[in-house]
Amino acid sequence: MAMTPLKSLRARDSALASTREQVRRLESTPGLPRFDGTLAGAGLHPLRATGITVFQINVGKLCNQTCRHCHVDAGPDRAEMMSRGTAEQCMSALARTDIPTVDITGGAPELNPVFRYLVEESVRLGRRVMDRCNLSVLLLPSQADLAGFLARHRVEVVASLPSLVQTQIDAQRGAGVFEKSLEALRRLNALGYGKPGSGLVLTLVTNPVGAFLPPAQEAQERQFRERLARVHGIVFNALYTITNMPISRFLEFLLETGNYEGYMQRLVEAFNPAAADGVMCRYTLSVGWDGRLYDCDFNQMLDLPIGGGAPNHIRDFDPGHLMTRRIVTGNHCYGCTAGAGSSCGGSTT
């Protein structure tokens, strides 16, 4: 479907720019069993953290793309950005732990001046660093040295490539993004990313281009590996499949196209207790651009901060409380528990 360039929900004054309105719709959907009840039926309620192995930092909503499914409502018209002071608080907190992985996301996180500070400091602390990259950012004139910076710091690039078809990628991510994505992948390959023995890890992330569940991760990886190598000469290390979360702009898409109830029903029917047991919020701490703490990036985008009385700002970071905290859940969580499960690290079963 041809799409006109989008603006964020916020810029359009959409009712869905209100996270309260999103939560209201999700929690009052007729016929939708409450997620907490479904969890209880699987013997998993209340859901608790099992530790923290991923320190995920969302540095803000600024992005050079305005994707139709974005759960962040990010875009060029969003100005919320993590400050240097908050970034330093993040690194101070990280240094007090042995959390092995730092996962930096946005928006396009690379557009925030604190991105490179976070990478350098995390590497200095000996942590594995992941950059959630939209690929096209690597082609911006202002980011001409970005790929080299990532390679020098051995940053794992986790790159969005939802499809192998130009019309699908451009419909979801904006006109011309398919070709830009391939060009960015070629540049990363040229630096050694995705190449055996280089130690430079290139992971692709795919999400469905519409209101349906993702394929089995292994099957999708085989298909992408064969096609990207054969048609485009592009290689990568691994592929994650992620389910589209029914919030923000994807929620808008579902509602506008009459797919909302069918999609939610599909998620509920595909509820998988094993996926629920392994959801990422149990081992992730999510830090917002303003330093507030959340169980995951999705809760962050719904303004659902961590609960249970634990300090909820990075300046008050208290790993003791956070390691076993009770996870805040809602009907949007069906997105992470459907089928083979979904997380920032792909399927969970």
Q: Which residues bind another protein (CB under 8 A)?
A: 163-165, 167-168, 208-210, 212-216, 219-220, 223
Helix (H) or strand (E) holding 202: strand 202-206
**Cβ nearer to another protein, comparing 109 with 339:** 339
Query: Please, what is the minimum distance in Å from the beta carbon of residue 165 to another protein?
Result: 5
The answer for residues whose C-beta is within 8 angstroms of residue 58's C-beta and 6 or more apart is 72, 82, 105, 106, 107, 109, 286, 287, 288, 289, 297, 300
Query: Please, what is the minimum distance in Å from the beta carbon of residue 279 to another protein?
Result: 20
Query: Please, what is the minimum distance in Å from the beta carbon of residue 38 to another protein?
Result: 19
Q: Tokens for 254?
A: 């579902």
Query: Please, what is the minimum distance in Å from the beta carbon of residue 194 to another protein?
Result: 20
Query: Please, what is the minimum distance in Å from the beta carbon of residue 68 to another protein?
Result: 16
Query: Please, what is the minimum distance in Å from the beta carbon of residue 246 to another protein?
Result: 16
**Cβ nearer to another protein, comparing 181 with 299:** 181
Query: Please, what is the minimum distance in Å from the beta carbon of residue 224 to another protein?
Result: 9
- What are 112-116's contacts with CB under 8 Å, separation 24+? 112/59, 112/60, 112/62, 112/81, 112/82, 113/84, 114/59, 114/81, 114/82, 114/83, 114/84, 114/86, 114/87, 115/59, 116/149
Q: Tokens for 54?
A: 């991923």
**Cβ nearer to another protein, comparing 143 with 259:** 259
Q: Tokens for 309?
A: 């009385």
Query: Please, what is the minimum distance in Å from the beta carbon of residue 225 to another protein?
Result: 12
**Cβ nearer to another protein, comparing 176 with 212:** 212
Would the CA dihedral through 33, 260, 171, 216 be positive or negative?
Answer: positive
8 A C-beta contact, residue 315 and residue 291: yes
Q: What residues pair up with 75 in beta bridges, in sequence order?
A: 62
**Cβ nearer to another protein, comparing 144 with 165:** 165
**Cβ nearer to another protein, comparing 251 with 338:** 338
Burial-class residue 321 by CB neighbours within 10 Å (0-12, 13-18, 19+): middle
**Cβ nearer to another protein, comparing 206 with 299:** 206
DSSP-derived secondary structure for 90-133? HHHHHHTS---EEEEESSSGGGSTHHHHHHHHHHHTT-EEEEEE
Would the CA dihedral through 81, 86, 87, 90 be positive or negative?
Answer: negative
**Cβ nearer to another protein, comparing 194 with 210:** 210
